Amino acid sequence: EAQVTQNPRYLITVTGKKLTVTCSQNMNHEYMSWYRQDPGLGLRQIYYSMNVEVTDKGDVPEGYKVSRKEKRNFPLILESPSPNQTSLYFCASSFRLGNEKLFFGSGTQLSVL
């Protein structure tokens, strides 16, 4: 089944404790992206990747890191989480851009205490 697998679904952590949210797609998609969703703000792009070893900043990259060592995986790393990073995070992928449909993971609800 074609899907984007994102883990964990829920995560509670404390300020400063490094964490990684994993994202993997099985559709051989070139484009992958991370978003955060906050009430009243919609989704905002954190980072995106057009292909292996090619990543770039979105609208809200501060405090986040990503890597794209393999085509299928695109982990999101919070080196030193802070409470303002408490949010719902989504990974998404598509084969190309344009009017291509985005495939989303099931989301990670992160709480930073």
Residue 23's closest CA among 10, 33, 15, 38?
Answer: 33
Among 30, 43, 67, 86, binds another protein (CB under 8 A): 43
41 is a contact residue toward another protein (CB under 8 A): yes
107 is a contact residue toward another protein (CB under 8 A): yes
Of 16-24, 69-77, 78-86, 97-105, the window that binds another protein (rule: CB under 8 A) is: 97-105
Could you tell me which residues come within 8 angstroms of residue 54 by beta carbon, excluding any fewer than 6 positions away?
68
- Pure H helices in 2-107: none
For another protein, give the closer residue by CB, 19 or 60.
60
44 is a contact residue toward another protein (CB under 8 A): yes
Binding site for another protein (CB under 8 A): 31, 33, 40-45, 48, 50, 56, 58-59, 88, 90, 92, 97-99, 101-102, 104, 106-107
